[in-house]
């Protein structure tokens, strides 16, 4: 999964980011809270077919490493 | 019995199309009535049927030709020998609870997923006597308003009864005047908010259409523009609810609105749902819902007792659907349904005429 595909998942989760998603910043620093993250996890699990649990301390890069491993 | 009808047929894997042709059904039985549909109202089920989702209606019914139509008014032409509630000439709302469970709540809907049922898109139809409720003789409402009422207002009534009772489980003493009842734009939502407004609650709707925003404001419902960013919507609604959030939130959309809905729902708030326009699934964040003591209420249409109560309340309290004078001709019904499907309709209430009154 690429960063652009991950951004698309965020859009499909109906989560609104205040600015551009920064790959090196944590999800919390990107303005994502636990409700947003649960919705993103849900969408990501649906797309990948795997149960994926995220936390706000992860960065998008770390999430992609996990998804792509 | 033969009639002319807009018959829905499968077109491809993801769609179906209407064909105007002859349709045949069996003679009425002792508990059935023969009726002439007069004015129909396009509902969400038409869109579900045409798009064949969330279920393929042809597979669900085991039929390849379907006459849709679960809302509107009809005139009774003939009655079976056991029919007691109507006589020929009565004008009735179609009450689409085709197959109730033993407690009266609908399992299957007339003109949608009830196998063998013939809906409003035909010149003549037959119904079981429990699928019609007579309109009061000296009614204040127009026939068009009753057509709008038949599904959306009855659905709203039944959903509100459950939502309010659910709210009262934890908030027994909060006066209605202090309750904030909000919803996302839509015809059932509008009906439910008007009902809450008549009962004294503070009401509001989040919606895109400027025409409908005006209609809300004229009828005592605050309107917040859905096209704003989520943070602005939340700020505006919180301001209008005095920082309390929403006591009962009517969300008949689903996935697209869930995030904002949950952020606006007050502590001990009730999420009320009776429709599923956008996505049937969303995650329930259990810790959030437990800590905030939220209650989720799901309903589907109504038992007949709720239909009768709703009609009575409407007459006594002027709980009346809006009517802007537009009724589509029967010839143009497929186009009307397509407009509703694509969100091109100006109003939440889209009517069509089948037979002259």
**Phi and psi at residue B76, to the nearest 5°:** -75, 125
Same domain, B136 and B168: no
Q: What is the CATH number of the domain that holds B109?
A: 3.90.180.10
Per the structure, how many domains does chain B have? 2
Identify all chain B residues contacting A15, using CB atoms and an 8 Å cutoff.
259
What pLDDT is stored for residue B233 in this prediction? 97
Nearest-Cα distance to chain B for A49, in Å, is 15
Identify all chain B residues contacting A38, using CB atoms and an 8 Å cutoff.
283, 285
Rounded average pLDDT over B83-111: 98
Same domain, B17 and B75: yes
How far, in Å, CA of B269 to CA of B245, rounded? 9
Identify all chain A residues contacting B288, using CB atoms and an 8 Å cutoff.
34-35
What pLDDT is stored for residue B324 in this prediction? 78
Nearest to B259 among A18, A39, A41 (CB): A39
Confirm or reject CATH 1.10.1200 for domain A3-68, answering yes or no: yes
Inform me whether the pLDDT recorded for B340 exceeds 90.
yes
Rounded average pLDDT over B244-253: 97
Same domain, B83 and B9: yes
Domain that holds residue B99: 2-142+323-353
Identify all chain A residues contacting B259, using CB atoms and an 8 Å cutoff.
13-16, 35-36, 39
Nearest to A35 among B255, B257, B263 (CB): B263
SS3 category, B26: coil
C-alpha distance from residue B304 to each of B79, B104, B298 (Å):
19, 7, 18
How far, in Å, CA of B186 to CA of B190, rounded? 6
SS3 category, B167: helix
Res. B27 pLDDT band, cuts 50 70 90? very high
Of all residues in chain A, what percent carry a pLDDT higher than 70? 100
Residue B83 lies inside a defined structural domain of this protein: yes
Of all residues in chain B, what percent carry a pLDDT higher than 70? 100
Mutant choice from A9, A11, A13, A14 vs B, greatest count of B C-beta within 10 A: A14
Judge: A14–B257 Cβ closer than 8 Å, yes or no: yes
Quick check: B234 contacting A, CB < 8 Å? no
Rounded average pLDDT over B298-327: 95
Same domain, B136 and B186: no
How far, in Å, CA of B152 to CA of B136, rounded? 18
pLDDT digits 0-9 by tens, B114-163: 999 999 999 999 999 999 999 999 999 999 999 999 999 999 999 999 99
User: Residues 237-266, chain B: which have Cβ within 8 Å of A?
Assistant: 255-259, 262-263
pLDDT digits 0-9 by tens, B267-299: 999 999 998 877 778 888 888 999 999 999 999
Chain B residue closest to A36 (CA)?
B259
Same domain, B25 and B57: yes
Same domain, B110 and B174: no
Q: Using alpha carbons only, how large is chain A's radius of gyration in Å? A: 10
Nearest-Cα distance to chain B for A16, in Å, is 7
Same domain, B185 and B292: yes
| ipTM value > 0.90 | no
Same domain, B8 and B130: yes
Rounded average pLDDT over B60-81: 97
If you average pLDDT over every residue of chain B, what do you get? Answer: 96
What pLDDT is stored for residue B53 in this prediction? 87
User: Residues 283-312, chain B: which have Cβ within 8 Å of A?
Assistant: 283, 285, 288
pTM of the predicted structure, to 2 decimals:
0.94
Identify all chain A residues contacting B234, using CB atoms and an 8 Å cutoff.
none
pLDDT digits 0-9 by tens, B167-190: 999 999 999 999 999 999 999 999
Identify all chain B residues contacting A9, using CB atoms and an 8 Å cutoff.
none
Same domain, B23 and B84: yes
Among candidates B3, B26, B34, which has minimal Cα distance to B131?
B34
* Domains of chain A, residue spans: 3-68
What pLDDT is stored for residue B186 in this prediction? 93
Identify all chain B residues contacting A35, using CB atoms and an 8 Å cutoff.
259, 262-263, 285, 288
Inform me whether the pLDDT recorded for B255 exceeds 90.
no
Same domain, B80 and B14: yes
Judge: A14–B256 Cβ closer than 8 Å, yes or no: yes
Residue B293 lies inside a defined structural domain of this protein: yes
Q: What is the CATH number of the domain that holds B224?
A: 3.40.50.720
- Mean pLDDT check: name the lowest of A11-25, B64-78, B115-129: A11-25
Q: Which residue has the tokens 């990948």?
A: A48
Same domain, B133 and B175: no
Res. B226 pLDDT band, cuts 50 70 90? very high
- Helical ranges in A1-69 per DSSP H: 3-12, 34-48, 60-68
């Amino acid at each position: 999964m690429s960063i652009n595909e991950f951004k698309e998942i965020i859009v499909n989760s109906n989560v609104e980011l205040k600015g551009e998603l920064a790959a090196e910043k944590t999800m919390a620093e990107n303005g994502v809270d636990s409700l947003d993250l649960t919705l993103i996890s849900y969408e990501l699990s649906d797309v990948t077919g795997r149960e994926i649990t995220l936390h706000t301390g992860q960065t998008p890069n770390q999430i992609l490493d996990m998804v792509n491993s | 019995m033969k009639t002319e009808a807009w018959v829905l047929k499968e077109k491809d894997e993801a769609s179906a199309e209407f064909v105007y042709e002859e349709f045949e059904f069996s003679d009425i039985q002792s508990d059935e009535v023969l009726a002439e549909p007069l004015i129909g109202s396009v509902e969400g089920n038409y869109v579900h049927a045409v798009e064949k989702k969330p279920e393929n209606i042809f597979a669900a019914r085991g039929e390849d030709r379907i006459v849709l139509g679960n809302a509107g008014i009809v005139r009774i032409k003939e009655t079976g020998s056991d029919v007691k509630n109507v006589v020929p000439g009565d004008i009735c709302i179609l009450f689409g609870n085709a197959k109730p469970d033993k407690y009266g709540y609908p399992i299957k809907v007339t003109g949608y997923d009830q196998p063998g049922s013939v809906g409003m898109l035909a010149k003549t139809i037959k119904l079981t006597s429990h699928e019609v409720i007579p309109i009061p003789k000296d009614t204040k409402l127009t026939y068009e308003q009753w057509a709008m009422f038949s599904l959306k207002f009855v659905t709203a009534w039944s959903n509100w009864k459950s939502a309010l009772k659910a709210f009262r489980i934890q908030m027994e003493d909060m006066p209605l005047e202090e309750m904030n009842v909000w919803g996302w734009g839509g015809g059932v939502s509008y009906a439910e908010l008007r009902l809450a407004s008549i009962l004294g609650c503070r009401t509001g709707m989040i919606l895109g259409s400027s025409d409908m925003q005006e209609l809300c404001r004229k009828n005592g419902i605050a309107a917040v523009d859905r096209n704003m960013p989520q943070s602005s919507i939340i700020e505006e609604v919180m301001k209008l609810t005095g920082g309390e959030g929403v006591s009962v939130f009517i969300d008949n959309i689903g996935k697209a609105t869930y995030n904002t809905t949950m952020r606006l729902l007050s502590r001990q708030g009730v999420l009320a749902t009776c429709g599923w326009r956008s996505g049937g699934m969303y995650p329930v964040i259990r810790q959030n819902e437990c800590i905030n003591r939220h209650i989720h209420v799901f309903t589907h249409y109504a038992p007949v007792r709720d239909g009768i109560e709703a009609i009575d309340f409407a007459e006594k309290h002027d709980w009346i659907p809006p009517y802007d004078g537009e009724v589509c001709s029967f010839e143009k019904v497929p186009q009307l349904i397509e407009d509703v499907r694509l969100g091109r309709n100006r109003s939440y209430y889209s009517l069509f005429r089948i037979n002259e009154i």
